[in-house]
Amino acid sequence: MSSWPPGCPCPPGWLPAGLNNGWSYRDRIAPGDAGRSLCAYFAGRYRHSSQALWQARLAAGEIRWNGQLLLVDRRLATGDRLEWDRPPWEEPPVPEHWCTVFDDGDLHVINKPSGLPVVPAGGYLEHTLQRMLERRWVERGGGVPRPVHRLGRFTSGLLVCARQQATRAWLSARLRQTTASPASGPGDGGQPCRKIYRALTVPAALPLEPGEWLEVSTAIGRRPHPLLGEVWCAASADSPGALAARSVVRLLERRADGDRVEVTIHSGRPHQIRIHLASLGAPLLGDPLYLPGGGARVEGLPGEGGYHLHAHRLLIRSEGQGHDLDLTAPLPKSLTVAKDG
């Protein structure tokens, strides 16, 4: 987890750093992990900590085995239940204000700011959009809007939430349906759902002229990574576990500080836009993880920022479920020009 620079003041409109109440992580041992020591299992499962640190947590009384407090390491068996009671930790500052783009009492769409995690993960628990929505709407006495999908912590733009479980299920299925829709360039193509992003790439790297577009169909799969064990990267289509993925990239403008592009995604794979642009030799400007070609830097992490990526427009055909939606999140300053429409 990246931390806030020591001594740096919290920006206006941000939730300051603060301690949470801790969390309990629960795991059940699968047959493939039977016979391993508890500390070796945890060091492999949670790679942020060494076996020596897990030994110290055992001695501190933070870990339970099958409901019993465990103070020394032991071999594990299939079906064993483990619980790590993580003490409170400090979460870095995050943006705490956003604009609501659409709200009909059930569907709730916001313009998520860059820097705000959507769900608890990567060291963030209370400083997440999901937790903030829960706190705010419980206080107001209304139904709580819950995220239907995710955006990367440093990706800004349209984030779809819904209050009713049936609506979340319908929207989730709608978002997945883009995978089966044929790519037809930047146009609509009759898709049930269309997701359009704007981004900045490293300058003069795309094999396009302004206004031209191309389709990217590079598969996405897991590759070894020294800090995480595995990370999503560009992969060959016949690699074990590789996921088919399609995007359409259109060059909008060449700039000295980075080329401005529009990306329409026809599937929803992990880090798809970042990987697809990198696979073209044009990573997102400032991306700390992905290299030209779609591989990953050994020192980079997916949750680190520095890039410019914005979920700009979302179109959803209702097909009997209500009105069609065509929503737009205003572009951040880095992605706009005076002639932009």
- What percent of the chain clears pLDDT 70, i.e. is strictly above it? 89
Express each pLDDT in 226-250 by its tens digit: 888 889 999 999 999 999 999 999 9
10, pLDDT greater than 80 = no
β-bridge pairing 309-316 and 156-162: parallel
β-strand partners of 327: 314
Average the pLDDT over 62-69 and give the result.
Answer: 97
188, pLDDT greater than 90 = no
CA atoms within 13 A on the CB side of 8: 11
Name the class of domain 187-310.
alpha beta
Matching fold, domains 19-91 and 94-178: no
What are the CA-CA distances from residue 259 to residues 169, 243, 252, 253, 339 (Å)? 37, 28, 8, 6, 15
This prediction has a pTM of 0.86
Among 167, 94, 189, 80, smallest CA distance to 132 is for 94
Among 252, 268, 41, smallest CA distance to 173 is for 268
Average the pLDDT over 77-90 and give the result.
Answer: 97
Spans of all domains in the chain: 19-91, 94-178, 187-310
Calculate the CA 156 to chain-centre distance.
Answer: 11
Express each pLDDT in 17-61 by its tens digit: 999 999 999 999 999 999 999 999 999 888 889 999 999 999 999
Calculate the CA 39 to chain-centre distance.
Answer: 29
Contact between 132 and 286 under an 8 Å Cβ cutoff? The reply is: no
7, pLDDT greater than 80 = no
Express each pLDDT in 290-319 by its tens digit: 999 999 999 998 889 999 999 999 998 776
Express each pLDDT in 125-171 by its tens digit: 999 999 999 998 887 777 899 999 999 999 999 999 999 999 999 88
Q: What is the CATH number of domain 19-91?
A: 3.10.290.10
Q: What is the CATH number of domain 94-178?
A: 3.30.2350.10
